[in-house]
Amino acid sequence: MLKSINLCEFTPKEEIENRIARLKKKMAENGLSFALIIQNVDLFYFTGSLQNGVLFVAPEEKPIFFVMKNLNRAVFETSLEITSIKKDKEIKDILTDMKLLKGKGGMELDVIPVAVFERWKSMLDYDNISDISRLIKDVRVIKSPFELEQIKKSGEIIGHVLRKAKDVIKEGVREIDVDAALLAEGRRMGHQGFLRMRGLNQEMMSCYVTHGYSATMPSGADVPISGVGITPAIGQGASINTIKRNVPVLVDYGGGYNGYITDETRAFVVGEMKDIFKRAHNVAADIIADAMEFGKEGVNGTEIFMRALKMAQKEGLEDYFMGYGEGKVGFIGHGLGLEINELPVITPRHKVLLQEGMVFAFEPKFIVPGEGAIGIEVDFIVRKHGLERVTDTSIDVVYI
């Protein structure tokens, strides 16, 4: 277990070199002559630094890390050679002088606003730029031993917080009070403070404490349980709803360490639970056990989803599985890494063969309309012969 807040490791030089080499290989295979990487998370992944800059990558050239600010921090954080610039407009002159602006270029068009993209095309005086985001996601989907170490440390924070939850969940306490206590506990253990989620209008809290009716309220977010929150300006997370006896409380907590995110959920209850919740939780536990037995490298993610769905159907719980009514979502698992919605996605539609080094959150959950929700979420590392748990915390309901 993490004992205190320690200075996180910088990304090793060989790690950066390997990531860029894999990107170069995919670029060459797809006929891309260069890429400009500007999104924060991708920039951190390929440089180890989050300072204000741009990374230029070409298959046959050394990468160029242009940094505007803060140069001193960037030099300290990255192993790459840095090219200092005052304004991003200098990049065109440098690349033109080196004769590197040629062929088909790439940028992260899944996250770059149109106005920013048009500005870059105008600034570079270059139109032949396509989307490179899928190649970047494919590079990032397989986690290295270094990354898995960061993910496990993130998981240690989750384990600590979930063990503490039983001490703060009490009858009459508001969801938001439990949320505040657990967030503080995580920060004391070195939680980075927030989670990153890729995509327009994609926002994610570090902790979701939901109970009873608030856990059944769907939202515009693509999640099975979002909570009500305390304002429509956010519309998710813990509310002022107070905890009552015999109704399950779900704590969905996202760890964050050195950029790497983990995501697990446990159920707590003051008193006892109705039979419908007990049955649903037992099915969720069986689904997780089945995934651990069946899942491994080479297995198609669609098979894992369908096996889970059939188990819910067998117990007559299909209508409540992964949401109810318009609140249903089409996935049971999502990739984890520097963002909480990475590849792979475990759905009935996305055919993806699991590969060793993939990491994903697996969350069989059930929403009983008007009454509450129950479920479990655990994080898995894909191995050749099975799925490895990221944390070792029990998935049993905690009775208080």
Tokens 């500007």 appear where? 38
Give domain limits for the chain. 13-139, 141-399
Q: Is the pLDDT of residue 248 over 50?
A: yes
The pLDDT value given to residue 377: 98
The pLDDT value given to residue 219: 85
Q: Is the pLDDT of residue 3 over 60?
A: no
> What is the per-residue pLDDT across 288-299, written as a single tens digit (0 to 9) for each?
999 999 999 999
User: Would you place residue 220 in the very low, low, confident or very high pLDDT band (cuts 50, 70, 90)?
Assistant: confident
C-alpha distance from residue 76 to each of 10, 80, 324, 341 (Å): 9, 10, 50, 29
The pLDDT value given to residue 8: 84
Q: What percent of the chain has pLDDT over 90?
A: 94
User: Would you place residue 6 in the very low, low, confident or very high pLDDT band (cuts 50, 70, 90)?
Assistant: low
DSSP for 14-63 reads HHHHHHHHHHHHHHHHTT--EEEE-SHHHHHHHHS--SEEEEEE-TTS--
User: Minimal CA–CA distance to 382: which of 345, 351, 354?
Assistant: 354
User: Would you place residue 5 in the very low, low, confident or very high pLDDT band (cuts 50, 70, 90)?
Assistant: low
Question: The domain 13-139 belongs to what CATH superfamily?
Answer: Creatinase/prolidase N-terminal domain (3.40.350.10)
The pLDDT value given to residue 362: 98
> What is the per-residue pLDDT across 371-391, written as a single tens digit (0 to 9) for each?
999 999 999 999 999 999 999
Amino acid letter for position 279: R
User: Would you place residue 336 in the very low, low, confident or very high pLDDT band (cuts 50, 70, 90)?
Assistant: very high
DSSP for 223-241 reads SS--B--S-TTT--B--SP
**Separation of alpha carbons 95 and 83, rounded Å:** 12
> What is the per-residue pLDDT across 170-215, written as a single tens digit (0 to 9) for each?
999 999 999 999 999 999 999 999 999 999 999 889 999 999 999 9
Amino acid letter for position 14: E
Q: Do residues 290 and 307 make contact, with C-beta atoms less than 8 angstroms apart?
A: yes
Beta strand 82-84 with 64-69 is: parallel
User: Would you place residue 1 in the very low, low, confident or very high pLDDT band (cuts 50, 70, 90)?
Assistant: very low
Provide the terminal-to-terminal Cα distance of the chain, rounded to the nearest Å: 24
Q: Is the pLDDT of residue 246 over 50?
A: yes
Q: What percent of the chain has pLDDT over 70?
A: 98
Domain 141-399 has CATH 3.90.230.10: yes
The pLDDT value given to residue 2: 45
Average pLDDT for 241-253: 97
Q: Do residues 264 and 361 make contact, with C-beta atoms less than 8 angstroms apart?
A: yes
DSSP for 104-138 reads -EEE-TTTS-HHHHHHHHHHHT---EEE-HHHHHH
Cβ-based neighbours of 43, under 8 Å, separated by 6 or more: 37, 49, 50, 53, 54, 55
**Separation of alpha carbons 392 and 263, rounded Å:** 13
Average pLDDT, the chain: 96
**Separation of alpha carbons 389 and 292, rounded Å:** 9
User: Minimal CA–CA distance to 105: which of 116, 93, 95?
Assistant: 95
